[in-house]
Structure 1
Amino acid sequence: MDPDEQNTLSLSELESWLFEAANILRGPIDAADFKTYIFPLLFLKRICDVYDEEYDAALEEAHENIEEAEYRENFRFLIPTGCHWKTIRGQSEDIGKAIQDAMRCIEHANERTLSQIFGDVQWSNKERLPDALLKDLIEHFSEKNLSNASVEPDIAGRAYEYLIKKFADESNKAAGEFYTPRMVIRLMMRILKPQERENIYDPAVGTAGMLLEALSYVQEHGGDINLLHLYGQEKNMTTSSIARMNLILHGREDFQIVRGDTLRNPAFVEQDRLQTFDCVVANPPFSLKKWGEEVWEHDPFGRNFAGMPPQSYGDFAWVQHMIASMAKPNGRMAIVLPQGALFRKGAEGRIRKALLEMDLLEGVIGLGPNLFYGTTLAACILVFRWQKEERLRGRVLFIDASGEYQKGRNQNHLCPEHVDRIYAWYEGCQDVPGAVRVATLDEIRGEDHNLNISLYVEPVVEEDPMTAEEGLERVKDAAEACVEAEERLKRLLAEEGVV
């Protein structure tokens, strides 16, 4: 069947078809690298099919006047002559070079929106990507039409998110750098409550999952997502490219994703100060070593306002960067950290003390183990606000959600019911035995500014309902059983002639 004649694709059909593309790469390509090849090809196929769709619509409107139909304003992205998917499909040799040339040409033709978006894959490396392999991949992607008529932007974006999750599952330990479990992000957004007209910033944006969840939250609560402004920075080139493709495939246009090292060279700067945002959210690399301490000793943006983080742990560098990026007075932020950041001493202890005395920390949520790729350790979420509610001024909300997860074979999962329960505890803002404690700053000072959740939320010890008489009876029964067992043993030994 000609792909142009196909009906609208369902999400499940699209998901299974896309993942089959990865199977073509198995063997010569490691699972951790699937995303590097699949995402750019998927994006290229999508924008070419949409271009054809836009051209047909423009031609009809121009009453078959080809010159008018080819006006630049008729197209979201321009596909130059010789760079279309159909041209690549017609190649029988040097397919990798054709792909690479087309991608670079498209980037150049759409420099404002697509510059460097296809990443830096060496498609012309025939040892890794022989023509036969690429031919199979191109033919597979050619089976279906990915125009808007066949695949709506939201469906395309959701399928893209599915692939990101699947590739994270496949590569596991390599996935922590670009993927955060969706339910963890959902919990963070419910706490931060982004609103239309606000700007959202993720300084460790990965594949843009946090920004997309902010869009979902605003949409679910009746807001206009076209009035939400999205910003992110990502050090890894492939990952930052995927983030941009992900947002475009979700139909977004008003965003800025910049490739670069946030801690050493922040991208969002206004004159000599950091740009500030209404919501700041991130899951940065845990306990990053050599994170940029040489720059922070004389940081031009004053991000070491609470102290200098140690060279071997970058966690509080991220925290301070994000606090400095919060807009006053209503700025708020949520960050995922390893739980070691709650109680490690030395420089980190001094930074915790400074932040607590500024009364910016609103909540500490301890999550269950093995929820994140690349680590079995339990993580936590810290929530900060410039302007805390009256009920939490001079206080910090501690939540022990370590038991809130569904056990998985290789990975544990936070489910919607767990998110609902944790969020209800957070909004309730009152003590719950074994789960929640609202601690005063004086109490935290008494613990030397240690934020270890177990210091504040004590586990519930269930009392044995057995009476004293029942206990004594059980002891007697056990003693009698011991005597009987001893007698049986003696008889057996006598029968064997041992005694």
Structure 2
Amino acid sequence: MANYQELANLVWNVADDVLRGLFKPHEYGDITLPFLVLRRLDCILDEDDRKDKAIQTYKQFKDHVPEEALPPIILKEINASFYNTSQYDLSRLTEDPTNIHLNFENYLNGFSQDVRDIIENFNLDRFIERLNQNNRLFIFCDKFTEVDLHPNQVDNRTMGLVFEELLRKFSEMSNETSGEHYTPRDVVQLLVSLLFAEHRENLRGQGVIRSIFDPCCGTGGMLTIGKKYFREQINPNADIRLLGQELNAQTYAICKSDMLITGEDPDSIQHGSSLSNDRFQGQRFDYMITNPPFGVSWKSDEVAVKAEAQTANGRFSAGTPRSSDGALLFLQHMLSKMEARGSRVGIVFNGSPLFTGDAGSGESEIRRWIIENDYLECIIALPEKLFFNTSIATYIWILTNRKSEARRGKIQLINAVDFHDEMKRNLGAKNALISDNHIRQLIQLYTNFEETEHCKIYPNDFFGYTKVTVERPLIEKCEVLGEETEVVVRDKQGNPKPDSKLRDYERVPLTENIEDYYQREVKPHVPDSWIDRKRDKVGYEINFNRYFYQYTPLRSLKEIADEILALERKSEGLLNEVLGF
């Protein structure tokens, strides 16, 4: 197959030809994707007669060893990570069209437990009866046998791209958010390059074992690209262990099947919500990388999350954001899993986690905890229109609990909005591409750690402020000796009572003395005011655009007037030409 798009288009056309009229377009993916996995597995078992060897081994030992002892014997005999002991595969199923439904069930039940778990999560059985009753099951099986999906013909990277392209198309058909399934490969490549840019000196040589974890792993693209980068760019002999958790059953099944096929431990991919059902509780990882869904509610996890937030050592004890966006919860989850010796975290966000929430809010308290613990190393503003389902601004955050000496107490901001090429053809909303050359330039900016037009470096407290309450006295009108006058209302101690209607707030940078700021910026304009320091709240926000703002002088009135007159003369000439004057 020439490329992943050709293969994805072929599979798409098969789905459209066979399923049209019988299923709704938004159901195509639920049927097509598991068949794609099954065909991939069949092609692997065809090699070296693994399929027939598995059947022979099963028959040889089934009456002589306990049932639970059979799987390791079969796997060792066929030198694979899975097997099928039925006499069927998709090709052999087409030899008996009359009994294809029953034989298909036997075929699925013949797989080893890991594969059965994958198929169950696809929930394919709800469609098989309808396919069979309408004579489409035979056709669908037959169509898929025409495509050779053996890894020698379609490598794992290409296969991953095929799944992602099909997920994007099927998601568009069902109006789902394709960004929840996967992240564009150029974004992943940049994220991975940033993640592994520091402390490489400890990653060379023999005996290096490192883990990469993704709590929203989708189809597993970030994990596999991370491992590939590590092996190719840092240490080809390293033992890289991939682990992840995924909520969506379909993408979990795809990810687990990919791990199974590539020889990874399939049990390292777990199903469920990372927020309310942490399947890696108590574990620590060297590298963590993810792209959590943008602006998605966490109400379904609320009870468990808030209960854990109340515990001193809980993952969410720094704070909880508003229920409409759980992105910062995923970041806290990852930071809770950092190794004491040092971990690195890379995460993709939209703009909300940078500044949403006033001082004292959950979002601000989470930012405060991150920055005051000196975890935040760098934020990179990405080009717009990078993602398939949205054109909003996005950012990469890099965090660590092992900053280099030069970076301690500082945060690096990189403005990469112009580091992209325009694509010849849009893919959904995506028409910007970060090239390999752009990635090299951005990594250079990152590792140089010097201020330039595109790079700013600030101390941690630069992003903090104290929200100060400015009070003014409550004044009541009263009559004294027959004349109306205004009187300041006082409490029992003789202090003026504040007027809540006149209450105001000032944000005083942490780098400034509050009293000095008040005397300079407030008191001259509101002489009867005072500040109530008991109400002070510390907040943190990162207003990225402000730091890279470039002033553009306004055009002069004369320049604008001259342009208007020129346009009038031009339009008058065109009008005369049209009318023949």
TM range (shorter): 0.7 to 0.9
Q: Any conservation in 1 of the 2:244–2:270 contact (CA below 8 Å)?
A: yes
From 2, 19, 37, the counterpart of 2:31:
37
Going from structure 1 to structure 2, the CA distance change for 1:255 and 1:406 (only over 3 Å counts) comes to: farther
Compute the displacement of 1:428 (Å): 2.2
Going from structure 1 to structure 2, the CA distance change for 1:461 and 1:423 (only over 3 Å counts) comes to: farther
Alignment partner of 1:371 is 2:386: yes
Partner residue, 1:357: 372
Alignment partner of 1:80 is 2:99: no
Q: Distance in 2 between matches of 1:394 and 1:260?
A: 36
Partner residue, 1:436: 455
Partner residue, 1:161: 161
Going from structure 1 to structure 2, the CA distance change for 1:402 and 1:147 (only over 3 Å counts) comes to: closer
Compute the displacement of 1:395 (Å): 0.9
| Letter matched to residue 450 of structure 2 | Q
Q: Distance in 1 between matches of 2:86 and 2:570?
A: 91
Any idea what SS the aligned residue of 1:221 has? helix
Partner residue, 1:297: 306
Compute the displacement of 1:141 (Å): 1.8
The structure, 1 or 2, with the larger RCO (C-alpha pairs under 8 Å, 6+ apart) is 1
Q: Distance in 2 between matches of 1:486 and 1:227?
A: 71
Compute the displacement of 1:339 (Å): 0.5
Going from structure 1 to structure 2, the CA distance change for 1:203 and 1:142 (only over 3 Å counts) comes to: same
1:380-404: per-residue Cα shift (whole Å, max 9, x none)? Answer: 1111100111221111111222233
1:315-348: per-residue Cα shift (whole Å, max 9, x none)? Answer: 2111100100121222010111121110011220
Partner residue, 2:42: 48
Q: Distance in 2 between matches of 1:327 and 1:105?
A: 41
Q: Distance in 1 between matches of 2:132 and 2:263?
A: 31
Q: Any conservation in 2 of the 1:404–1:418 contact (CA below 8 Å)?
A: yes
From 354, 357, 367, the counterpart of 1:342:
354
TM-score normalised by the chain length of structure 1: 0.80
Q: How does 1:58-73 map to 2 (within 5 A)?
A: 72=74, 73=76
| Letter matched to residue 392 of structure 1 | R
Going from structure 1 to structure 2, the CA distance change for 1:58 and 1:441 (only over 3 Å counts) comes to: same
* Bigger shift: residues 453-462 or 365-374: 453-462
| Letter matched to residue 273 of structure 2 | D
Going from structure 1 to structure 2, the CA distance change for 1:29 and 1:155 (only over 3 Å counts) comes to: farther
Any idea what SS the aligned residue of 1:117 has? helix
Compute the displacement of 1:56 (Å): 6.7
1:402-437: per-residue Cα shift (whole Å, max 9, x none)? Answer: 23334454322332233333322222222222x221
Q: Any conservation in 2 of the 1:34–1:167 contact (CA below 8 Å)?
A: no
Q: Distance in 1 between matches of 2:234 and 2:564?
A: 69
* Bigger shift: residues 212-221 or 452-461: 452-461
Q: Any conservation in 2 of the 1:180–1:283 contact (CA below 8 Å)?
A: yes
Q: Any conservation in 2 of the 1:50–1:147 contact (CA below 8 Å)?
A: yes
Alignment partner of 1:208 is 2:202: no
Q: Any conservation in 2 of the 1:233–1:259 contact (CA below 8 Å)?
A: yes
Alignment partner of 1:136 is 2:136: no
Partner residue, 2:188: 185
Any idea what SS the aligned residue of 1:132 has? coil
1:444-470: per-residue Cα shift (whole Å, max 9, x none)? Answer: 125652112113223375999xxxxxx
Identity of aligned residues (%): 23
Q: Any conservation in 2 of the 1:96–1:124 contact (CA below 8 Å)?
A: no
Going from structure 1 to structure 2, the CA distance change for 1:147 and 1:440 (only over 3 Å counts) comes to: closer
Going from structure 1 to structure 2, the CA distance change for 1:461 and 1:94 (only over 3 Å counts) comes to: farther
Q: Distance in 2 between matches of 1:320 and 1:46?
A: 37
Partner residue, 1:266: 278
Any idea what SS the aligned residue of 2:289 has? strand
1:337-360: per-residue Cα shift (whole Å, max 9, x none)? Answer: 121110011220122112111111
Compute the displacement of 1:487 (Å): 12
More strand by percentage: 2
Compute the displacement of 1:364 (Å): 1.1
* Bigger shift: residues 281-290 or 228-237: 281-290
Q: Distance in 1 between matches of 2:246 and 2:560?
A: 64
Q: How does 1:331-480 map to 2 (within 5 A)?
A: 331-345=343-357, 346-407=361-422, 409=426, 410-416=429-435, 417-433=437-453, 435-446=454-465, 448-459=539-550, 461=552
Q: Distance in 2 between matches of 1:132 and 1:24?
A: 13
Partner residue, 1:24: 17
| Letter matched to residue 140 of structure 1 | K
* Bigger shift: residues 477-486 or 333-342: 477-486
Alignment partner of 1:311 is 2:286: no
* Bigger shift: residues 232-241 or 124-133: 124-133
| Letter matched to residue 387 of structure 1 | R
Compute the displacement of 1:100 (Å): 4.2
Q: Any conservation in 2 of the 1:230–1:255 contact (CA below 8 Å)?
A: no
Q: Distance in 1 between matches of 2:328 and 2:562?
A: 58
Partner residue, 1:3: none
Partner residue, 1:284: 292
| Letter matched to residue 325 of structure 2 | Y
Going from structure 1 to structure 2, the CA distance change for 1:134 and 1:342 (only over 3 Å counts) comes to: same
* Bigger shift: residues 186-195 or 361-370: 186-195
* Bigger shift: residues 275-284 or 157-166: 157-166
Q: Distance in 2 between matches of 1:388 and 1:359?
A: 8
Alignment partner of 1:114 is 2:115: yes
Aligned residues: 461
1:129-183: per-residue Cα shift (whole Å, max 9, x none)? Answer: 65433322211222244456xx35x615523422322431453452122111111
Q: Which runs of 5 or more residues in structure 2 are unaligned?
A: 62-69, 198-202, 466-508, 510-538
Compute the displacement of 1:291 (Å): 5.1
1:40-61: per-residue Cα shift (whole Å, max 9, x none)? Answer: 22322232333233337997xx
1:97-116: per-residue Cα shift (whole Å, max 9, x none)? Answer: 5434422431xxx22x3341
Any idea what SS the aligned residue of 1:443 has? helix
Going from structure 1 to structure 2, the CA distance change for 1:294 and 1:31 (only over 3 Å counts) comes to: same
Q: Which runs of 5 or more residues in structure 1 are unaligned?
A: 1-8, 465-470
Partner residue, 2:483: none
Q: Distance in 1 between matches of 2:131 and 2:547?
A: 55
Going from structure 1 to structure 2, the CA distance change for 1:128 and 1:57 (only over 3 Å counts) comes to: closer
Partner residue, 1:4: none
Going from structure 1 to structure 2, the CA distance change for 1:288 and 1:92 (only over 3 Å counts) comes to: same
Q: Any conservation in 1 of the 2:18–2:139 contact (CA below 8 Å)?
A: no
| Letter matched to residue 426 of structure 1 | Y
Any idea what SS the aligned residue of 1:298 has? helix
Q: Any conservation in 2 of the 1:179–1:206 contact (CA below 8 Å)?
A: yes
Compute the displacement of 1:214 (Å): 0.8
* Bigger shift: residues 162-171 or 91-100: 91-100
Compute the displacement of 1:374 (Å): 3.1
Q: Any conservation in 2 of the 1:425–1:436 contact (CA below 8 Å)?
A: yes
Q: Distance in 2 between matches of 1:131 and 1:429?
A: 64
